[in-house]
């Protein structure tokens, strides 16, 4: 069972991190409900590791604040709830696997040695091997064993599956899901493998160009869209392209993305009304929605009502704008 009864694992308010080259993360405000398994998605350089690093308190934000289970980041109690698996898997290379687990046991009062050993054994990683001699997938497994055995309520995982083989991915994602259900564990994991995320995650945080593009439960995000095809209106003049979106589409719905092929258009719309019989309209897949938001930087972001800081919540109401 979760040791905290707070409804939100993460509440980020105007969170930003600036480097000399520019913003790595900017104006990031959202909240992540406790108990969800959330995919952190976005292109290379979008700001995913930066967000995870701030949440793990390895990076200081330049702007804004972040609460973990209602506790401000400066509160040492906040960090007890969190385990982080860094993209680089920083482990002591000279330690053996057994020594690494012993270190975990000594540093963490809620340490679950049996869980750590199970995860290591399932990958046939020798306990006597030095970490520096392990393959990258084996090191990932040891890092995940440390994170799981800490018995944290929030797991922050930076590309946890990237160097695991398909069997290990399957096994460890099943473990994540069962822990999430049994212990009310919250997971925020970055990945580029959408197919893998679709099976595992019930929630999405999408970043592009350092800004939030989409946040919410998959069940809320996908049905808020329609993928519409139909005949385009003629373009404004010769040489201006094949056509434009019909006024009934462009004027009545939020167009996330549109494409033209001959006289046909295909548009991803954010809408709760049917575009009408003149068009063919289907619910898009998660991948179609995600790619639409990632390709169209100018499309307005979608932060679901439950993921907005301004939504009704006893502790957040005072801060809502």
Binding residues for ligand ATP, rule: CB under 6 A, are 19, 21, 24, 42, 44-50
Q: Residue 265: name the closest of 289, 239, 244 by CA.
A: 244
Nearer to ligand ATP, 207 or 249 (CB): 207
Between 193 and 244, name the residue whose CB sits nearer to ligand ATP: 193
Q: How far is 186 from 2, CA to CA, in rounded Å? A: 9
Q: Which residue number, 4 or 50, has a Cβ lying nearer to ligand ATP?
A: 50
Q: CB 208 → ligand ATP: shortest distance, Å?
A: 9
Q: Tell me the backbone φ, ψ of residue 191, rounded to 5 degrees.
A: -165, 155
Q: β-strand 37-41 against 203-208: which pairing, if any? A: parallel
Give least dist CB 112 to ligand ATP, A.
29
Closer residue to ligand ATP, CB minimum distance, 35 or 160 = 160
Based on CB atoms, which residue is closest to ligand ATP, 2 or 87? 87
Residues 32 and 51: their CA atoms lie apart, in Å, by 13
Of 21 and 94, CB closest to ligand ATP: 21
Contacts 24+ apart (CB under 8 A), 56-61: 56/82, 56/84, 56/86, 56/156, 57/82, 58/84, 58/86, 59/17, 60/17, 61/15, 61/16, 61/17, 61/25
β partners of residue 130? 96
- 114 three-state secondary structure: helix
Please tell me the distance from the alpha carbon of residue 206 to that of residue 293, in angstroms, as a whole number.
Answer: 9
Closer Cβ to ligand ATP, 78 or 206, answer by number: 206
Distances (CA, A) of 272 to 81, 95, 283: 38, 56, 11
Q: Least CB distance from residue 207 to ligand ATP, whole Å?
A: 6
> Whole-number minimum distance, CB 94 to ligand ATP, in Å?
26
Smallest distance from the beta carbon of 44 to ligand ATP, in angstroms? 3
Q: How far is the CB of 14 from ligand ATP (least distance, A)?
A: 17
> Min. distance of Cβ 60 from ligand ATP in angstroms?
12
CA angle 100, 101, 106 (to 5 degrees): 100
User: What is the spatial distance between Cα 217 and Cα 234, in angstroms, rounded to a whole number?
Assistant: 38
């Amino acid at each position: 069972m979760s040791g905290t009864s707070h409804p939100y694992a993460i509440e980020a308010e105007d969170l930003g991190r600036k480097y000399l080259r520019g913003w790595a993360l900017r104006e990031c405000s959202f909240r992540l409900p406790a108990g969800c398994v959330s995919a952190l998605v976005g292109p290379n350089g979008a700001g995913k590791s930066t967000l995870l690093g701030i949440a793990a308190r390895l990076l200081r934000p330049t702007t804004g604040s972040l609460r973990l289970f209602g506790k401000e980041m400066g509160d040492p109690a906040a960090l007890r709830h969190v385990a982080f698996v860094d993209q680089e898997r920083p482990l002591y290379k000279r330690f053996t696997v057994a020594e690494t687990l012993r270190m975990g046991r000594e540093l963490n009062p809620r340490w679950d040695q049996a869980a750590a050993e199970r995860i290591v054994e399932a990958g046939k990683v020798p306990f006597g091997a030095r970490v520096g001699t392990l393959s990258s997938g084996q090191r990932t497994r040891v890092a995940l064993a440390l994170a799981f055995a800490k018995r944290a309520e929030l797991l922050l995982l930076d590309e946890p599956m990237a160097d695991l083989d398909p069997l290990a991915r399957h096994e460890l994602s099943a473990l994540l899901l069962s822990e999430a259900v049994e212990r009310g564990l919250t997971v925020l994991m970055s990945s580029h493998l959408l197919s893998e995320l679709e099976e595992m995650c019930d929630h999405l945080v999408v970043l592009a160009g350092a800004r939030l593009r989409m946040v919410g439960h998959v069940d809320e995000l996908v049905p808020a869209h329609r993928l519409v095809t139909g005949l385009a209106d003629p373009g404004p003049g010769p040489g201006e392209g094949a056509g434009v979106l019909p006024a009934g589409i462009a004027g009545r719905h939020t167009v996330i993305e549109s494409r033209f092929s001959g006289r046909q258009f295909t548009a991803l719309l954010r809408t709760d009304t049917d575009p009408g019989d003149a068009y063919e309209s289907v619910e898009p897949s998660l991948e179609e929605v995600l790619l639409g938001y990632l390709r169209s930087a100018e499309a307005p972001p979608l932060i679901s009502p439950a993921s907005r800081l301004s939504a009704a919540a006893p502790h957040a109401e005072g801060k809502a704008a």
